[in-house]
Amino acid sequence: MPLKLTLKPNEKVLIGTAVIANGPAKTEFVVLNRVPVVREKDIITEDKADTYGKKLYNVILNMYVNPAAEKDYHGIYFILMRQMIVMPLDPRAIDLMVEMSKHILAGDHYRALKLCRQLIKFEAEALANVKR
């Protein structure tokens, strides 16, 4: 199914393993084949991953953009999941983690990334409560 993308001026997007940088004007184009697509605003780099949830997101992102190396990230994924489980999170976060893992097992890393974004919000709330 084709994916229509609209890029804002100077916006970047990761398509497959290529980073595409837009010029000074708004641009629309269509990706005709099935490849990983991630907007710059949805990327959490390893150096910006300063919590377990963000590290988890980075690991899933790596699985998504490099499916051939997915298994290389499984060990890290499970270690980070264990760290998340012992955190004092909202009980709904556990359901998210289960769903996230199901999507990873099904090869749907994009959906797992979306769920992980929600998990990061639960983690931020828990960390804010701990600091009080």
pLDDT in tens, 29-65: 999 998 999 999 999 999 999 999 999 999 999 999 9
Cα–Cα distances (Å) from 51 to 11, 24, 98, 126, in that order, read: 26, 34, 19, 12
**pTM (2 d.p.):** 0.91
Structure tokens at 100: 């996230």
**Number of DSSP helices (H) and strands (E) in the chain, helices first:** 4, 5
Give the tens place of pLDDT for each residue, 91-129. 999 999 999 999 999 999 999 999 999 999 999 998 888
